[in-house]
Each structure stands twice: as structure tokens, then as C-alpha cells.
Amino acid sequence: MAPTVEAPAGLHLQEEESEDVKEISRDEFPEGFVFGVATSAYQVEGAAKEGGRGPSIWDAFSYTPGKIFDGTNGDVAVDQYHRYKEDVDVIAKMGFDVYRFSISWSRIFPDGFGAEVNKEGIAYYNNLIDTLLQKGIRSSVTLYHWDLPQKLHESMGGWLNREIVNYFAQYAETCFTAIGDRVKHWITLNEPLQTAVNGYATGIFAPGRCSDRSKSPVGDSSTEPYLVAHNQLLAHAVAVDIYRKKFQDKQGGVIGITVDGEGSEPFTDAEGDKEAAQRRLEFQFGWFLDPLYFGDYPAIMRKKVGDRLPQFSPDEVALLLGSVDFVGLNHYTTRYVIPSFQSSEDEFFVDQDIHRIAEWEGNTIGERAASEWLYIVPWGFRKVLKWLTERYNRPPIYVTENGMDDEDSEITLLDQALNDTKRVNYFKGYLKSLAKAIREGVDVRGYFAWSLIDNFEWSQGYTKRFGLVFVDYKNELKRHPKSSAHWFTSFLHRTDNQDCLVNGENRH
């Protein structure tokens, strides 16, 4: 939780803060707007040692004592590898247009590279995609959602080594070849900021490197995140180049990247607070999007990070520029920001020269969800969308993740766990904010709720539940739709007589 602070004079008040949670209709979104639901491979698939899959850095990280809050791992997760047909049925009954999932790199190449493609891995994703299509559901496929093959990390340093760009290119081309005839929506990387910062600065995500020797025997939090981000950007650009030159005309799909960030609002009207809020946005979104739209990192990053920030060659700039058909946005929350003051934040925040505020003098920026970082601030969503629109000249945007979590509790009765009213209100508020942004000229073309199903929540294990569908971890992973699943069913089916999902069955 962010430390409490005293509010200075001139507190920057938001007129949207009092916006109540109103009902919203699908008709408030443009014709052709798509609604989807999302997951990622390591969080849901399980079958970690089946089907020819090799180990990933998240396998190694979760097996390390003390790294996962509840001591668990993704070996089984929610077993979607074996139960994908059941989960596809649920997606279809709710009425979503698209399922966003990621491919496990080590299911395709167990070591991350090689001449032999794992046919069992290809077969699994072919079966998933075909099952979705049979139900009228399209696929949005993410090539990389954090689960780097462990062999690549051990043998050549993973994202720290420029050579990984070539391995990623081979992997991406293999996927385009195998499933691109049916996949029309590709995402190269999911949240490269999280890989860079939490994997190589704070050390709380795989591979767990940082400067704090009490957490990791290796790593440099001042340099490695920037190098990792740099190599991820180049890997993205090379994959896009391959897709556009060899596949896009024939397959007819689009390809982009998904970035993430919280909203950033000045705490007061002071110029220093406004500058700090802008820095925060540029260190989150500009870090990855400025090179793709302008050919270099933000000037403020060059100033603050100095020679620790890598340079792009002229050929790399040419490759990066314009290498997105759309921007994917993962967004959950917003904070107020001031310039740093004796900050206890991690080194990445020191570089930004900012301090984030969510609570002050008994006040909060919004109601908190289960995770300490997630406050419910719908008005911040619209502001992020407008900032991206203004900075990058109205790019096509897909909101590829948005949602909130509940705390897992062994003493909560099933009926109580399924009655997730707070989540329903979260979606109503954020969708209202999204619809308003679209009316104001933001070019958003789709929205994906996170998440389809409760799952392995990274360093928090199974202690946090983001799903529309409840998973009974103690009863054979049985699925139970929550109130939020029922709400989306009603929202997506509008007011006609199409089927609604009630207790997992179709009823009028």
C-alpha cells in the first residue's frame, strides 16, 4: 500500500470522482466493436510436463522457495490444457466475440530454439483455435506473455542478450506459419515493462534478477531493465517485419504490441506535480511506444537515465518506426503523482523522480481491490486513453486487459464468492469511461476483460482471483460462473431473447 501523506494546498480534484455506477449497454459502443476475454498460458494451461513442453523461467522461479506467496506453481494451474473445450463453451455462452490467449514458447520449442518444432504443442493450439471457431469465437494470440524458455535464459542470458531477437523471430515465424491462416489478431509481447522492471529491477517476477543481494545473487537494477526492454522492442519489430513481408497479405491479419500502465494524475495543481505525472506516463507508455512512433525513447528518459539507456542504430530505427497496426493497452488503476521525496520506491521510480499516492489523510483515490496496487478509478481509464490518442496521433487501440481481483479465502462460502458485486460495478464504471472516451474521439476497437477464469496470479500464487469464472481449487478445479459472468452475458446479448448463462446452463 502506498504510504499516506498530508495533502498540500491546492489539491487537484477530479470532477469525475463522484461518477456513480450506471448501467451500460453494448449499443453504446460502435458497430464492429469487439468484446473479448483474456488469459495467458502459464496462468491457465497447466500440463507443465506434458505434450513435449519444456521448462520456462516461471517454472524455475516458482519452484524457488519464497518466490511465490503461497508456495504454489503453475504445474497444473487451472488445467485448461485438458479442459479447453469446457472453457470455450463458457466463453461462447457468455457471448464474447474473441478469446485472447498466449502461446507457451516452450510448447513450440522446448529449449526455445532448434530445428525441430514440437508437433504436440502445435496440435494443442490448432485444436484450441478450431474449437473456438466452431463456436463462432475468434482468436487474439499473444506470442510472449512472460514465460521465456528456461534453456534460453540459462544458455545465453535470455532477454539480456541481443541474440534473443533471432530466436524470437524463429519462434514467431513458426507460429505465423502454423496457425496464421485462422488467427487475424496478433500481439507480439505482453507488458514488456513488467518483464523489464519486475523481472530485472525489483526481482519479484521471473527470472528474479535485481541489485538487492538478499533477493538475488545476480543482477543490476540500474542497467538490466533498460537492456531487456531494448531487446524486447527489437524482437517485436523483427517479428512484425517477418509477418508483414511473408504473411500479412495472404493471411489478412493485424499485429501489434500490448503495453501497460496506470493512470497518472498530478496530486496538486503545482507545476512540479504536473511534470511528475507526465514523466510517469512517459516512463510507462513512452518507453515502448515512442520508439515505435518517433524512433527513440522519450527525451525525459534520455535525460534521467543517461548512458544506461541503450541507443538504436539507424537500421533499428527504420525497423521500429511504424511497426504496429494497433496498440494493445492493459490498464487497471490510477494514482496521484508528485516529485519524489526521500522515496523508498524501487530504483525504477527513483529514475522517474516520482512518488505515487493512492491514500492520504484518510482519503483514497478509489476503493481498493484485493491487490495492494489496484484501486478502482474509472475516470483514470479515460484519461489514459486520451493521453495515448493525443501523443500518438489517434492510433487504433484494443484494451487487451482490464479487471480487478478478490482475495481468495478458505472460509468464504461458494455463494458469497460468486456474488462479486464489486467486480460487476468495476466493469460498469470502466466501460462507461471507455464509451465516453470513444465519443470524444479515441479510436478504441475492442475490449478484453481480465480474466476469463481464476488462475495462477504470478508471485501471488492462487491468493488473488481475477476471474469471471470461479475455480474451486479444492474440488477438482470445478468451474462456477460468478455474477460478473452473468452480467457480461446479459450485456453482450443485449435485450433480445438469446440464451443467458445461469448456473452454467443455457436458459431463456
Is 43 marked within a binding site? Answer: yes
What whole-number distance in Å separates Cα of residue 382 and Cα of residue 438? 9
Task: Judge whether 416 is annotated as a binding position.
Answer: no
* Element spanning 126, H or E: helix 119-134
Reading the block at residue 113, the C-alpha cell is 530454439
Residue from 70, 43, 270 nearest 142 by CA: 43
458 labeled binding residue: yes
C-alpha cell at 105: 514458447
Omega of the bond prior to 451 within 30 degrees of 0, cis? Answer: yes
DSSP 431-494: HHHHHHHHHTT--EEEEEEE-SB----GGGTTSEE--SEEEETTTTTEEEE-HHHHHHHHHHTT
- Smallest CA-to-CA distance from 138 within 175, 198, 184 is with 184
> What's the rounded Cα separation, in Å, for the pair 451 and 454?
7
d(CA 107, CA 493): 36
Q: Is 457 annotated as a binding residue?
A: yes
Measured distance CA(90)–CA(84) in Å, rounded: 10
Query: How crowded is residue 385: how many other Cβ atoms within 10 Å of its Cβ?
Result: 25
**β-strand 254-260 against 326-330: which pairing, if any?**
parallel
> Where in the sequence numbering do the catalytic residues fall?
191, 401
What distance separates the 2 farthest-apart alpha carbons in the chain? Answer: 65
Where are the strands (E) in 28-148, listed by range? 34-38, 98-102, 138-144
Q: Does 145 appear as a known binding residue? A: yes
**How distant, in Å, are the alpha carbons of 165, 304, 344 from that of 340?**
35, 13, 9
Flag whether 387 is marked binding.
no
Q: How far apart are CA 24 and CA 12, in angstroms?
A: 28
- Burial class of residue 31, CB neighbours in 10 A (0-12, 13-18, 19+): exposed
If DSSP codes are grouped into helix, strand and coil, which group holds residue 400? strand
Spatial separation of the C-alpha atoms in residues 206 and 198, rounded to whole Å: 8
Indicate the annotated binding residues: 43, 145, 190, 332, 450, 457-458
**Residue ranges at the known binding site for substrate:** 43, 145, 190, 332, 450, 457-458
